[in-house]
Amino acid sequence: MPSLGADMDYGTLVEWMVKPGDRVRRGDIIALVETDKGLIEIEVFDDGVIESLLAEPGTELAVGAVMATIGQEGQAAAAETPAKAEPPAPREPIPREKAPPPPSPPPPAPARAPRIPPGVAPPGGGARPRVSPLARRRAAELNVDLATVIAGEGNVIRVADVENTAAARGVPKPAAAREAALPAVPPPAAPPAPGERAAQKTVEERTAAMRRAIATAMTRAKREIPHYYLETHIDLGGALAWLAEENRKRPVTERLLHSVLLVKAVALAARAAPEMNGFWIDGEFRPSEHVHVGMAISLRKGGLVAPALHDADRKPLGELMKEILDVTNRARTGVLRSSEIADATITVTNLGDQGVESVFGVIHPPQVALVGFGKMVERPWASGGMLGVRPVISATLSADHRASDGHCGGRFLAAIDGLLQEPEKL
């Protein structure tokens, strides 16, 4: 069936003017076809002999369908098969290989200082997420501080992010007679429900909401961040010995726990490994000038927060210890500052007291690394050709393969190990 017009898709065969065995010459009319524009005579473009007629009069055929075949008498081509468009060549699937390591990250010195109005503390080292107009409006309605909202895809805070945060926190003192938010997904074709007064939410409801928020964040992290995992075991014997000696010199209230050594070691190692310390935003890694170590703290009724210890690399151990205690306490009583919630540039999770030997955690976006510590275990240890028993801790790294690779990760863990072997320098 030939194409007789750009808008012709079908034609109906009305009548054959030839029969099998007829000799035809170029230009002969061999059929009548009915189209939208009327009856059209179909001519052949070859010389030959009609071999077979493949369509019955009265049938509708698509342009390109074979109607008849013409046998060779010189030319080979069948009469009425116009060149069909080649199907486009299938696209080569892009191989899902590991992304090549990014070019060496820019030096920690600020390449582009964010414009900060005077008098406002700069956000902790990373770019602030953008906020959709709807989200901003909803945050105002719900009294949610946008700095406490975890941004979604593309480092944008959308209304769902605000609503999840509000649900997790409970709405603080609402104004009189103020209507609460729309549900996150309104029922189809129904006007928005008036919403309940969130101020009276029970602890169970708040916990459940927080779990939902965590679920969302973790799902997104797992879906979007290409994690890789490394583990090493660190001999803490030297560090613990030093710690015991240190604590003898300190009043009871200022005694140090081994966790502060871990945090400080991670902070110093992160300072030296910028690809571990910063944010993945809008398709690129932005290293942070500061090292704010987030400490994962589990909450009694369930749930998790990871408030930041600001500039952990610069603080002496005593000060850092105080902060850890203070923040842990306030986390458990629910009185954290927004900057503590938002600013962590790398997170540490320490499940040692849960009895877990090693933990491979999920990175908290937009960060690019999470260090996990397990419980201290007495293990046989070979050192200097001698076998002994040492207190060993598993140190793991979950890292974002877009920002770093195993080589960097390995170096980073090795650095932590090295630092913990010289605790007096922490």
Partner 1 sequence: MSALGGAVPAAAAKVRVTYREAMRAAIREALERDPRVFLMGEDVGRYGGCFAVSKGLLDEFGPERIRDTPLSESAFVGAGIGAALGGMRPIVEIMTVNFSLLALDQIVNNAATILHMSGGQFNIPLVIRMTTGAGRQLAAQHSHSLEGWYAHIPGIRVLAPATLEDARGMLWTALENPDPVLIFEHGTLYAMEGELAADAGAVEIDHAAIRRSGTDVSLITYGGTLPKTLKAAEELALEGIEAEVIDLRTLRPLDADPIVQSVSRTHRAVIVDEGWKSGSLSAEITARIVESAFYELDAPVERVCSAEVPMPYAKHLEEAALPQVPRIVAAAIRVMGEHG
Nearer to partner 1, 358 or 367 (CB): 367
Among 67, 158, 295, 315, binds partner 1 (CB under 8 A): 158
Exposure b/e, 202-220, CB count within 10 A at least 16 = b: eeeebbbbbeebbebbbeb
Cα(66)–Cα(71) distance, rounded to whole angstroms? 14
User: Could you say whether residue 292 binds partner 1 (CB under 8 A)?
Assistant: no
Among 18, 159, 265, 291, binds partner 1 (CB under 8 A): 159
Give the residue among 212, 269, 245, 259 at the shortest CA–CA distance from 416: 269
User: Could you say whether residue 156 binds partner 1 (CB under 8 A)?
Assistant: yes
User: Could you say whether residue 37 binds partner 1 (CB under 8 A)?
Assistant: yes
Among 91, 223, 248, 300, binds partner 1 (CB under 8 A): 223
Tell me if residue 401 is catalytic: yes
Give the residue among 151, 205, 207 at the shortest CA–CA distance from 180: 205
User: Could you say whether residue 153 binds partner 1 (CB under 8 A)?
Assistant: yes
- Residue 62 tokens read as 């698509």
Cα(108)–Cα(277) distance, rounded to whole angstroms? 10
Among 21, 88, 93, 385, binds partner 1 (CB under 8 A): 88
Cα(391)–Cα(374) distance, rounded to whole angstroms? 12
Cα(237)–Cα(26) distance, rounded to whole angstroms? 97
- How does DSSP classify residue 353? G
| In the block, residue with structure tokens 């990760």 | 409
Q: Among 2-10, 105-113, 360-368, 386-394, which window interacts with partner 1 (CB under 8 A)? A: 2-10
Catalytic entry in 235, 405, 407, 417: 405
Site string for partner 1, 163-202 (x = CB under 8 A): ----------------------xxxxx-------------
Q: Which of residues 364-423 bind partner 1 (CB under 8 A)?
A: none
Catalytic entry in 7, 22, 401, 417: 401
Nearer to partner 1, 89 or 382 (CB): 89
Could you please report the per-residue DSSP string of 236-269?
-HHHHHHHHHHHHHS-GGGPPPHHHHHHHHHHHH
User: Could you say whether residue 309 binds partner 1 (CB under 8 A)?
Assistant: no
Q: Which of residues 121-150 bind partner 1 (CB under 8 A)?
A: 132-137
Q: How far is CA 252 from CA 256, 259, 357, in A?
A: 9, 16, 29
Tell me if residue 290 is catalytic: no
Site string for partner 1, 66-85 (x = CB under 8 A): -------------------x
Say how many residues touch partner 1, by CB under 8 A.
Answer: 28
Residue 253 CA from chain centroid, whole number: 42
Least distance CB 171 / partner 1 (angstroms): 20
Cα(290)–Cα(324) distance, rounded to whole angstroms? 18
Least distance CB 137 / partner 1 (angstroms): 5
The residue ranges of DSSP E strands in 292-360, in sequence order, are 293-295, 297-298, 304-305, 308-309, 346-350
User: Could you say whether residue 2 binds partner 1 (CB under 8 A)?
Assistant: no
Nearer to partner 1, 147 or 182 (CB): 182
Which residues does the annotation mark as catalytic?
A: 401, 405
Positions touching partner 1 (CB under 8 A) are 6-7, 9, 36-38, 85, 88, 132-137, 152-154, 156, 158-160, 185-189, 223-224
